């Protein structure tokens, strides 16, 4: 991808289980949104990941968000709901 950048993605709890890893680096177009990331990860890891992502929050820089229209940035943490608060 000529107009792509590396995005570091860290997975926690059920997201780590669905991906089989704790982190990875992906190449996505520069202005990719969290919705674009969700689509890529759902395609890559299947229905379990899609379900986890549908209830997850995303940490982008210092901002915790569920707004998938937000531009993703160079690093995203995927935070599913945690049991016990």
User: What confidence tens digit (pLDDT) does each residue in 1-39 have?
Assistant: 458 889 999 999 999 999 999 999 999 998 999 999 999
Q: Count Cβ atoms below 10 Å from residue 47 Cβ, excluding itself.
A: 9
Answer whether 0.85 is exceeded by the pTM.
yes
Q: Using CB atoms within 10 Å of the CB of residue 83, give its burial: 0 to 12 exposed, 13 to 18 middle, 19+ buried.
A: exposed
What digits encode the pLDDT tens for the residues 33-59?
Answer: 999 999 999 999 999 999 999 999 999
- Cβ proximity of 75 and 60 under 8 Å: yes
Per-residue confidence band for 84, with pLDDT thresholds at 50, 70 and 90: low
* pLDDT score of 83 more than 80: no
């Amino acid at each position: 991808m000529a107009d792509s950048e590396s995005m570091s993605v860290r997975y926690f709890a059920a997201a780590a289980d669905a991906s089989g890893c704790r982190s990875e680096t992906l190449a996505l177009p520069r202005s990719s949104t969290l919705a674009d990331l969700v689509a890529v990860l759902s395609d890559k890891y299947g229905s379990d990941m899609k379900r986890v992502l549908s209830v997850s929050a995303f940490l982008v820089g210092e901002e915790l968000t569920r707004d998938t229209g937000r531009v993703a940035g160079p690093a995203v943490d995927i935070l599913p709901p945690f049991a016990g608060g």
